[in-house]
Amino acid sequence: MLIKKILILLPVIIFVILLQSFFWIPTYDEQVKGNPHRLEEYITASIGDAKVLNPILNADSASSTIVEQVSDGLIDRDEDLRFRGRLAESWDIYEEAYFYVNSKAVVSGKKMSRPGEIKEIILSHKKNINQADSPLAGTLNNIKDIEIISSQKGETDIQIPGPDKNKDGFPDPVNIKVRFNAPPRLKITLKEVDQDFFRNMEAVLGKGYFETFPSGDYVEILTPGHGDKISVIAPEALPAIEHNPVIVFHLRKGVKFHDGHEFDAGDVKFTYQAIMDPRNLSPRTSDYEPVKRLEAVDKYTVRVVYKRLYSPAFGTWAMGILPEHLLNEEALKKEALSKGMNPVNFTLKDSEFSRHPIGTGPFVFREWKSDQYIALDRNETYWEGAPNYKKYTYRIVPDLLTQEMEFYGGAIDSYGVEPHQVERLKDDPKYQNFSGLSFGYSYIGYNMRRELFKDKRVRKALGMAVDTDKIIRYVMYNEAERITGPFIKQTDYYDKSIPPLPYDPEGALKLLGEAGWRKNNDGWLEKDGKRFAFTLVTNSGNDLRKSVLTIAQDSWKKIGIDVKTDVVEWSVFLGKHINTGNFDALILGWSMGIDPDLYQIWHSSQTGPSQLNFVGFINKEADDLIVKIRQEYDYGKQVEYCHQLHRIIADEQPYTFLYVGKWTAVLDKKIVIKEHLPSGEEKIKKITPTSTGNYSFYFNKWIKMADNPRFELE
Length in residues, the chain? 714
For 561-687, strand residue ranges (E) read 562-568, 585-591, 655-668, 671-676, 682-685
Predicted confidence at residue 29, as pLDDT, reads 54
Backbone angles phi, psi at 19, to 5 degrees: -65, -45
* Residues 367-385 pLDDT 10s: 999 999 999 999 999 999 9
Dist. CA 251–CA 268, nearest whole Å: 10
Q: What pLDDT, in 10s, does the model give residues 226-244?
A: 888 898 899 999 999 999 9
For residue 135, say if its preceding peptide bond is cis, omega within 30 degrees of 0: yes
Q: Identify the helix (H) or strand (E) that includes residue 159.
A: strand 152-165
| Confidence class for position 167, pLDDT limits 50, 70, 90 | low
What is the residue type of 26? Answer: P
Q: What type of residue sits at position 572?
A: V
Taken in order 507, 508, 513, 518, is the CA torsion positive or negative? negative
How far apart (Å, rounded) are the C-alpha atoms in residues 32 and 30?
5
Question: Lowest mean pLDDT: which of 107-111, 363-367, 390-394?
Answer: 107-111
Q: For residue 410, give the 3-state DSSP assignment.
A: coil
Average pLDDT over residues 554-567: 96
* pLDDT of residue 166 exceeding 60: yes
Q: Where are the alpha helices (DSSP H) in 244-291?
A: 265-276, 285-288
**Strand order across the 671-676 sheet:** 682-685, 671-676, 702-704
Residue 714: pLDDT above 50?
Answer: no
Handedness of CA 13, 16, 22, 23 (dihedral sign): negative
Distance CA 544, CA 471 (A): 9
The whole-number pLDDT of residue 399 equals 87
Output DSSP code: residue 501: P
Relative to beta strand 391-396, strand 41-46 is parallel
CB neighbours of residue 624 within 10 Å: 13
How many CB atoms sit inside 10 A of residue 549's CB? 21
Q: Which of 56, 57, 58, 61 is nearest to 73 (CA)?
A: 56
Say what percent of the chain tops pLDDT 90. Answer: 70
Alpha helix stretches (DSSP H) within 515-569: 543-558
- The pLDDT score that the predictor gives to residue 132 is 65
Radius of gyration for the chain, computed over Cα atoms and rounded to the nearest angstrom: 30
Question: E strands, 413-545, where?
Answer: 431-437, 440-446, 480-482, 518-519, 525-527, 530-531, 533-539
Q: Is residue 454 over pLDDT 90?
A: yes
Mean pLDDT, residues 255-260: 98
DSSP three-state, residue 305: strand
Confidence at residue 31, expressed as pLDDT on a 0 to 100 scale: 56
Q: What is the DSSP string of 112-123?
A: ---HHHHHHHHH
* The pairing of beta strand 219-221 with beta strand 171-182: antiparallel
What domains are defined for the chain?
94-246 (no CATH), 440-664 (3.10.105.10)
CB-neighbour burial class of residue 684 (10 A; exposed 0-12, middle 13-18, buried 19+): middle
At 165 the pLDDT is: 65
- pTM for the model stands at 0.77
pLDDT for 711 equals 58
| Burial of residue 590 (number of CB atoms within 10 Å: 0-12, 13-18, 19+) | middle
Q: Is the pLDDT of residue 658 over 80?
A: yes
Phi, psi (deg, nearest 5) at residue 256: -115, 140
Q: How far is CA 659 from the centre of its chain?
A: 19
Using CA atoms, how far apart are residues 273 and 422, in angstroms rounded to an integer? 45
pLDDT of 161 higher than 70 = yes
Picking from 32, 29, 13, the residue whose alpha carbon sits closest to that of residue 21 is: 13
pLDDT confidence of residue 336: 96
Taking a C-beta distance cutoff of 8 angstroms, is the pair 530, 561 a contact?
no
Distance of CA 94 to the CA centre of its chain: 25
Closest CA to 264 of 245, 247, 249: 249
Q: Would you state the torsion angle of the CA atoms of residues 294, 297, 299, 305, taken in this order, to the nearest 10 degrees?
A: -30
* 487/496 Cα distance (integer angstroms): 10
List the beta bridge partners of residue 564: 535
In this structure, the number of other CB atoms found within 10 A of the CB of residue 501 comes to 21
What confidence score (pLDDT) does residue 11 get?
44
pLDDT band at 97 (very low <50, low <70, confident <90, very high): very high
Whole-angstrom distance, CA of residue 479 vs CA of residue 493: 23
Residue 563 predicted with pLDDT over 60: yes
Q: Which pLDDT score, from 0 to 100, does residue 22 have?
A: 39
Average confidence score pLDDT of the chain = 90
Q: Report residue 712's pLDDT band, with 50, 70 and 90 as the boundaries.
A: very low
Relative to beta strand 682-685, strand 671-676 is antiparallel
pLDDT digits (tens, 9 = 90+) for 576-611: 899 889 999 999 999 887 889 999 899 999 998 888
Please tell me the least confidently modeled range out of 31-35, 125-129, 613-617. Answer: 31-35
Q: For 132-157, what is the mean pLDDT?
A: 91
Question: Does the pLDDT value for residue 7 go beyond 60?
Answer: no
- Say if CB 562 and CB 531 are below 8 A apart: yes
Residue bearing the bigger pLDDT, 398 or 505? 505
The tens digit of pLDDT for each residue in 393-450 reads: 999 998 888 998 999 889 999 988 876 677 677 778 888 888 888 888 999 999 999 9
- Rounded to an integer, the average pLDDT of 172-176 is 83
How far from the centroid of its chain's Cα atoms is residue 653's Cα? 21
Please give the Cα distance from 457 to 509 (Å, whole number): 10
